[in-house]
Structure formats: C-alpha cells, structure tokens
Structure 1
Amino acid sequence: MAALRSSLTALRSSVAALPSMAALRSAADRGYELYDRSSARLKGMMPTGLYARALLIIIAPMVVLQSVVAFMFMERHYNLVTQRLSAGVVQDIATLIEVDKVFPQDYAQLRRIAQDKLGLVVDFLPVTELPPPGPKPFFSLVDQALSEEVRKQIGRPFWIDTVGRSALLEIRIKLDNAVMRVFAPRRAAYVSNSHIFLAWMVGTSLVLITVAVLFLRNQIRPILRLADAAESFGKGREVPDFRPRGAREVRRAAVAFIEMKRRIERALEQRTAMLAGVSHDLRTILTRFKLELALIGDSPEVDAMKKDVDEMGRMLEAYLAFARGDSGEQSAPTDMGAFLDELKTDTERNGHKSSVNFHGHPIVTVRPAAFKRCLANLVSNAARHAPSISITGHRDHRWLTVTVDDDGPGIAPHLREEVFKPFLR
C-alpha cells in the first residue's frame, strides 16, 4: 500500500506539472496565427504572372544548388587544400630554423638551400621588435591558416603580411639572435585557381538559365495567346487568327475554347434569328392593326387602342435593337469626347437640359452603335424622371467610366440589380 500511495503521489505531481489545456490551446492559436501571417506575407512577395512564377521555379532551385555547391567547395576543398599548403610552407620554414640551430651564422648556405630546394627567399634581420599587426582582409583564410600553423609548428613570435596583390607572402619569425624574414610564393600557400571553378559554375548556370528561359517563353506564349483570345471574345471582339499551339494540354484547352466559342456564337445566332423573326411577324400584325384602326375612324376607344399599338411597336423596336446589338457590329476605336457631345446634342434636341464632361485619353475601342444605344437608353430613362442630366466620362489606363447623373428620385436599393435585365420596365 505504501508503494501504491507513493506512485499515486508521483503521478499527481506529474499531472500538476503539465500545462493546462487552455495554455496549450493558446499556444496552438499563436502558432496558427504566425503561420497564417507568414503565408500571407510569402504570397504577397510571390509574383502574380505565370511567366514570372515559372522563372522563379527554374531560377530559385538553381541558385540554391549553386550556393550549396559553392559552400561545399569552399568548406571541403578550398579550406582543406589551403590548410595543407600553408602547413607545407610553415614546415619548410621550421626546417630552415632547425638547420640554423645546427649550423648557426651560416646564412649564405641557408639562403641557397631555401632558394634552390624550397623556393623561398630568406633573409636575416637584426633582432628588433616585430611590426604591429596590420589590417586583415575580410576573407583572410590564408592569414588564419598560416598563423595557426606557425603557432603549432614553430611556437615563436611571428608577423605575417598577406594583404595586397603581390605574388609573395612575407613571414617574419623572431629567433634568439636574429629575425628571419621569409618571402614565399602566394600560390604555394593556397589554391590560386579556385575562382576558375566558380567562374565555370556561374557561367554554365547562366547559359543553362538563358536556354531554359528561351524554351519557357516558347511554352508560355500559347497560354498567353489563349488568355488574350478568351479576353477578346469575352469583350465581344472577333478572334479570327487564333489556332491551337504549344504543348498537348495547351492545345486541348485551345480546342475546347474554340468549340465553346462556336457553341456560344451558334446560340447567339439562333436567339437573334428567333427574336428578329418573332419581332418581324408581330410588327406585320401591328401594321394591320394600325390600318384597321385608321379605317374605323376617331373615337376615345380607338385612340386608346392606337396608343397601345404604338407602345407595342416601341417594344418590338426594342427587341429588334437588342437583336441587332448582339451580332454583326465590330469594335472600332471611337473618340469618346465627340461621342458624348453627339449624345448631348441628341438629348437637347429632344428638349432636355444636359451637360457633358470628359477626362483622359478619348480614344476607346467599343462597338459604337451598341454603345450609343446603351447610353441613349440611360439618358432617356433619366430624362423621364429629371429635368437636367449630367454625363461625365473618365478614362484611365485600364477602364472607361461613363456616369449618367440626374436629380430625379432615384431607384430603390432593392431594385438596382433588376435594372440590368433587358426590357425591364
């Protein structure tokens, strides 16, 4: 029982030490919030175009790969070879110091051995204080390697000068009775041709990226053409020279777009033909009605019937105008300033007061007749409910905005979406 009691006590202590569920939930919420912010920031930095994203997909792994290769080369190969070469130079200097100990004051023989056998230029200076350490270069791998090897193999005061573009390195070692000054070839202490590897690596990467960009542009061009064709067709413009090109998937999408375009055009033609036929037949009947009413004579009932027939005629004209507006007319560059001035003239000819203002570049590509019917419909509706009308046009780099403003009672908020339906009264 005592053992069981002690186990329960330990378990209670462990449970008490655990964080509460509220704290865990709070930490999880903070983690999710941080993840959402990071994702949103990353999405904001990403390019939006397909071509730019494809380039990023190609270039980013290439840059990462080249960075890893360069790091591994500098870390494994360049550093290791430099350390071994520096160790060899310092070992030669240490050998000369040992020879000087065995044959002291024989400086001429020591210089000859160093020059002929080791490729070093050795000189002996009077015993003086070594120069103070000079400024070190930012990337002083040779200086570090030589200093480390001198401390390890010689263990005497020294001074090293590796700064500058000279082909020689200067090393001074303070001995008991002199200061040994050694000039060693720079290429003997470190790898002097490492930049060739990096240059080849960077140059090859640039060539491969250039070739990839050229191929990528050819692959993306059909997608851009498909997007332009879909945008032009959506704006009511003809796309006569569009043909499927590019990869198999892109050609499938282009063929699907062409088939969809044909079906939509066929449906529009059928609807237009139906509206035109029905309107023509009904107008023929209305013409007979007008003739029969004219033969009957004048009376209040006949006048009311004539008004109804005229109203039906206007409705049929609206149907015919709607049918004509969806087919046949091509888009053309139009001067919106002159276009709105002409609309103002027509409005004032009908006895309505109006004003026109236009801002921006006036040339806009529209279907002139259909666009004029649209604006004339808006102006006529405004004229029925207001004494004065203001027409304002504004053109920016992307949109043309035409505002028809009047001082009438306006449209109820719940009916504003309904006014965009055709033939709504």
Structure 2
Amino acid sequence: MAIFDAIRRDQDKPPANAYKRVTRWIRRRLPTGLFARSLLIIIVPILILQTVVAFVFMERHWQTVTQRLSSSVTQEIAAIIDIIETYPHEADYGELVRIVEDNLGMRISVEPGEKLPAPRPKPFFSLLDQTLTSEITRQIGRPFWIDTVGNSRLLEIRIQLEGEILRVFVNRNRAYAANSHIFIVWMVGTSLVLIIMSTLFLRGQIRPILALAQAAESFGKGQKSPEDFSPRGADEVRRAGLAFILMRERIERQMEQRTAMLTGVSHDLRTILTRFKLQLALAGDNPELDNLNKDVEDMQTMLEGYMAFARGEAEEDVGEVLLSDVLEKVAADFTLHGKEMTWKIDGDDRVKVRPNAFARLIGNLASNSRRYAKRLEVDARHSAKWLTVTFDDDGPGIPEEVRDDVFKPFYRLDEARNLDSSGTGLGLAIARDIARSHGGNVTLGDSPLGGLRATVRIPA
C-alpha cells in the first residue's frame, strides 16, 4: 500500500519526478549486499519463468486435457441415455448396469419417480465443475445435478429423464487431469535444487570479495591484514586482490623508507644540536647566550615533534585499551595544572585501537583545552560501529574560517593566543593523522560552553 500512496502523492507532479520517487522507494527496500542482490538476479527470473509456465500450463494444457476428458465422459453418459430411451426396459436395467460397469468403468442406476435435489453450492475455484457443467449442457441438454466436491475419488452426476433419474458414479481421474500436480512438484523441486546450487556457488564467489574488503578495511584502520589473505575466486577478484597486495606493499615500503630517512636526518641533526649544546656549556654562564640556548631547545623540540608526526605511530600493533584509564590520566594532568576536567563514558569501556597512538590523540586534544581554557568536558560514546569522543571547553575557541588550517603541520594562530614555548604547531595535525590512520577523523565546531568543540570519530 505504501507504494500506491507514493504514486498518489505524485499524481499532480511531473511524471519524471514521480518516476524518480517510485524508483527511490523501491531502491530503499532492496537489499544492499552483493550476495543478496546476486541471489535476486538468479531467483527472480526463475520465479517469473515458473509463474509464466504454470499459468500457461493451467490455462492451456490442464484446461484442454480436462475438457477432453469431461467431453469423453459426457459422451458416454449421452450414449447411455440414448440406449435407455431407445430400448426401454419394463423390469430393470440390470444388464445395462453390468455392461456399463464392465466396459465403461461407471456405476449407474435408474431411479423411477425421483427428482433432482437442490443445487449444491459451487466451489470457489473448480476447473472440473465448470468444464463438466459446460459439456453436459452442450451435449445432453437436460436438467442435471453434479457433485464434484463430496467424495474426492468419485463424481456423482444425476440426469433428469422422463419420469426417472439417471445416477452415474465415475472416477474423478476419468474426467479431470488429476496428476497435473506432479508437473508443479517437479518444477518447484527442480527450481529449489537450482537455487540451492546457485546459493552455494555465489557464496564461494562472494567470500573472496568479502575477504578483500576486510583486508582493505583493516589496512585502512592501520591494523594488520589477515595473515591467511590471498587472492582467490574469479579472475577479476584475483586481479583486484593482487592489486591491493601490491598497493599495500608499496605503501608500507614507502613508509619504511620515509621513516629510515627521517631517522638518519634526526640522527644527524641531533648530533649537531648536541655539539651546539656542548659548545654553549663550555662558553660558561653568559646572559647573552641565553637566547641562543633557548633557540637550540626550541629546535630540538620542533625536531622531536616533526619526527613523531612523520612516523605517525604506524608500526604499533592494535590492542585493547580502557577509555577510563586514558581519561583518568588526562584528568590527573588537568588537576596538576589547576584546571577542571569532567568525563563520562556511554557504552563499552574497552576499545580496540593502537594504545600509544590513541593516548596521544586524546592527550593532544585535551592539552589544547588545558592551555587555553579553564574547564573541559569529555563525552565518550562507544556504539557497535563507532567510537565518538567529544571535547568541549570554555576557551577562546578557533574562528570558523581557520578551523581547517589549524590541522596543517606547523600552522600557528596569531600571537594573541599566547602560545607557550612547547607549542610546535603539530598537535592537531598529529591528532588528525592518528584518527585517520584508525579509519576516522577529527572535526572542530562550536562548544556549548562557549569555546571549542573537538570531535573524534573512529570505527569501533
């Protein structure tokens, strides 16, 4: 009824718009999985073919066979009536009854002075009743009464003669194609076998695609792909699986090369910075060198931050972490700095993430609030599919036009934000990098406390 309501609502609208609405309504109710859709592609044509074949069989073959059988039975009854009227017997019809039963397989009786009973209610659907009635009316043309509903094996036919009633009992299968259900049983049974075979075959073809999707999803979350993953299935699926493996190897190799290069650069720069520090230490206490010492420390801090951002903690394995433990550590840090932090968890406390990276993600976002705000509220919601952690503070916030820019490495807001010496412009960049390596993201918005709202959303 819902689809008809949708059609009625669109009657006054352009046909193209109505067509789009109807197709959209149907599309929303179709299965979205590849396995279910593939089954529909196989099952729907089979059902349509069965329906057409069954309709043609019922309408043509079954009706034709039943009509011919009923016509033959009616002809035999007409012959019996003709014999009775041509050769009347004053005593009984014993010899005629014997001949009919031996040669025609019918049982008859002639009942003088009887009348036809009241007509029986017609069955809702009976091809035999309709066909036999039509043939008796056409060939015999006398008042009659038939019972096709009573005894399932026999048909009773009564014909009104001159002052008497002819009662005929005949087997149902002589006037009706009673074995037609065998055809339907064979057709349905064969279709079920084909559907079962198709289902098993499709499961075998879909399984490699699901394995490829799981491996790609694990790699997108920064997790290790299943060890038993290997390209299987049809040639196209094998090619897609092999392309994924090659892509994963190239990405991992690029990450290893980048990490190795940055490790070498870090080692060289640290050597130079250590030499600077040694030379400054040997120079003794000189107020003029204080600024130079501070610049060296800032360079080392920025170098460490850049290295951490470039590594991205990608080599860490996935493990279980208690959200409460991570948030309690952050709350303790707030208390140490004289700030207020409250938190709550809705759902399971355990999450599967890369422990150190996740702790750093939470720490970076909380530290921004600790620097610029006095109060922070953290709301963690862990559902079956997503982990969402919301940070609301009462700080100055970030203008909407630069909220995308603050995720760029080394991006700093204006000096009015009073950045401390530990700020490198990498905190939010590292946070978003970690969230995306888990398959999620970090977004910024307005907080109901008047400051900034940071939302972390990663797959559970």
The TM-score normalised by the length of structure 1 is: 0.88
User: Helix, strand or coil: the match of 1:145?
Assistant: helix
Contact 1:276–1:323, Cα closer than 8 Å, also in 2: no
Indicate the residue corresponding to 1:9 in structure 2.
Answer: none
User: Percent identical across equivalent pairs?
Assistant: 55
Q: Partners in 2 of 1:422 and 1:122 — Cα distance?
A: 105
* Partner in structure 2 of residue 384 of structure 1: 371
User: Is residue 2:67 matched to residue 1:83?
Assistant: yes
| Maintained 8 Å contact 1:237/1:331 | yes
Instruction: Output the CA distance in 1 between the equivalents of 2:119 and 2:295.
Output: 109
Q: Kindly report which structure 2 residues correspond to 1:53-202, keeping only aligned pairs within 5 A, or say none.
A: 53-105=37-89, 106-164=92-150, 166-202=152-188
The yes-or-no answer on 1:247 pairing with 2:234 is yes
Q: How does 1:248-397 map to 2 (within 5 A)?
A: 248-298=235-285, 301-397=288-384
Q: Is the 8 A contact 1:275 1:319 kept in 2?
A: no
Q: Deviation of residue 164 (structure 1)?
A: 4.0
Query: Residue 436 of structure 2 corresponds to which residue in structure 1?
Result: none
**Cα offset, 1:391, TM superposition:** 1.7
> Higher mean Cα deviation, 80-89 or 269-278?
269-278
In the alignment, which residue of structure 2 is the partner of 1:34?
18
Please report how far the alpha carbon of residue 149 of structure 1 lies from its aligned counterpart in structure 2 after TM superposition: 0.4
Deviation at 1:138, TM superposition (A): 3.2
318 and 89 in structure 1: CA distance in 2 versus 1, 3 angstrom threshold:
same
The 8 Å contact of residues 131 and 159 in structure 1, kept in 2 or not, is answered as: yes
Q: Within 1, Cα distance between the matches of 2:31 and 2:358?
A: 36
Partner Cα distance (2:251, 2:330) in 1: 32
- 2:71 and 2:351 mapped to 1: Cα distance? 77
Q: Take 2:121 and 2:266, find their aligned partners in 1: how far apart are those partners?
A: 95
Q: What is the identity, as a one-letter code, of the residue corresponding to 2:97?
A: R
TM-score normalized by the length of structure 2: 0.82
- CA shift, 1:129, in A, is 4.4
1:66-118 Cα offsets, whole Å, 9 max, x none, are 11111121122111000000111111111111111112244223322221221
Query: Aligned-pair distance for 1:350?
Result: 4.1
Could you tell me how far 1:387 is from its partner in structure 2? Answer: 0.8
CA deviations 1:269-307 (Å, max 9, x no partner) are 122223333233223322333333334445554333333
Deviations 1:340-367 (A, max 9, x none): 2233233433443211211101221100
Q: Which moved more, 1:352-361 or 1:368-377?
A: 352-361
Report the equivalent of 1:406.
393
Distance 1:164 1:337, change over 3 A: farther
8 Å CA contact 2:115–2:164 kept in 1: the answer is: no
Cα distance in 2 for partners of 1:297, 1:351 equals 37
Q: 1:414 to 1:171 in 2, by over 3 A?
A: same
Structure 1: distance between partners of 2:119 and 2:369: 89
Q: Give the C-alpha shift of residue 126 in structure 1.
A: 4.3
More helix by share: 1
Residues 32-63 of structure 1: CA distance to partner in whole angstroms, max 9, x if unpaired? Answer: 22322232123223211111111111111111
Question: Distance between the aligned counterparts of 1:294 and 1:165, measured in 2?
Answer: 117
- Confirm whether residue 46 of structure 1 aligns to residue 33 of structure 2: no
SS at match of 1:187: helix
Distance 1:401 1:51, change over 3 A: same
Shift, 1:388, TM fit: 1.4
Residues of 1 paired with 2:213 and 2:294: CA distance?
50
Give the secondary structure class of the aligned counterpart of 1:258: helix
Given that residues 391 and 405 in structure 1 are in contact (C-alpha distance below 8 angstroms), is that contact kept between their aligned partners in structure 2? Answer: yes
Question: 3-state DSSP class of the match of 1:170?
Answer: strand
Find the residue that maps to 2:392 and give its secondary structure. Answer: strand
- Work out the CA distance in 2 between the residues paired with 1:358 and 1:33: 46
AA partner of residue 112 (structure 1): R
Deviates more, 1:29-38 or 1:378-387: 29-38
- What is the total number of aligned residue pairs between the two structures? 399
- Indicate how the Cα distance of structure 1 residues 391 and 129 shifts in structure 2: closer, same or farther if over 3 A, else same: same
Q: Which moved more, 1:270-279 or 1:127-136?
A: 127-136
Query: Over the residues paired in the alignment, what is the CA RMSD in angstroms?
Result: 2.1
Distance 1:403 1:227, change over 3 A: same
Aligned counterpart in structure 2 of residue 203 of structure 1, from 189, 196, 205: 189
- Note closer, same or farther for the CA distance 1:312–1:136 as it changes in structure 2 (3 Å cut): farther
**Higher RCO by CA contacts (8 Å cutoff, separation 6 or greater):** 2
CA deviation vs aligned residue, 1:140-187 (integer Å, no higher than 9, x gap): 000000000011011111111111452101111112211211111001
